[in-house]
Amino acid sequence: MNGDDPGARAGALADAQDIHAGLDAAWQLYDGQFHPSAREAMTDDADRWRRGIGRAIQHIHQAVEFLTNSNAEAARRSAAARDAALAVGSLDAQLTGIAAHINLMQAAGQVSLPVAGRLTGLINSIKAVVQGISAQILQLISHLVAPVGWAIAGGLGTNLFGLQGTVQIELQFH
């Protein structure tokens, strides 16, 4: 495992700190700017979205913590890597769904064009942070594990590690 190398371990811990800071920044952007505006326009949806986004961010935090746990065995670390990737994919998919819902509401005249534009812009800003986090998670994984094999595939719908679409990730370890 690469995590046994002190240099790799130090790099992994720095990556983990960057990921946590990015997640906190995404949450602050969502909760501080998007949620109040969305709540004014669509209270029930905004509260449901806030819970879902909060859960996804918490899952990523937990997976990164477990991934960087020096006592974790390879199989558990592999599961944490998978969980982190899935949680990032879930977060991206939720943000994409929220943006689509806002566009539908604007098209139906339920939300004004300026409000919809502002909300969509905020969602796009949050998605950019999430895309950066997905790249950092891939880097973190490379510091901590020595994969025997990788399998990454993409389709249409979400964005993970720069792949647009349905993402499936499989990591095989020693």
pLDDT at position 134? 87
Bridge partners of 69?
none
Positive/negative CA dihedral, 134, 139, 144, 148: positive
Q: Residues 85-142: pLDDT tens digits? A: 888 988 999 999 999 999 998 999 988 899 889 889 989 999 999 988 888 888 887 7
Highest mean pLDDT among 50-64, 137-151, 160-174: 50-64
Q: Are 29 and 122 in contact (CB under 8 A)?
A: yes
With tokens 């769904």, the residue in question is 97
pLDDT at position 39? 79
Range list of β-strands (E), 30-160: 147-153, 159-160
**The pTM of the whole model exceeds 0.85:** no
pLDDT at position 142? 76
Three-state DSSP state, 149 = strand
For residues 7 and 46, which has the higher predicted lDDT (pLDDT)? 46
Three-state DSSP state, 140 = helix
Tell whether the model's pLDDT for residue 4 goes beyond 80.
no
pLDDT at position 174? 44
Tell whether the model's pLDDT for residue 168 goes beyond 80.
no
Q: Name which of 126, 124, 118, 131 is nearest 36 in CA terms.
A: 118
pLDDT at position 149? 61
Q: Residues 34-78: pLDDT tens digits? A: 888 777 777 678 888 888 899 999 999 998 888 887 676 777 777
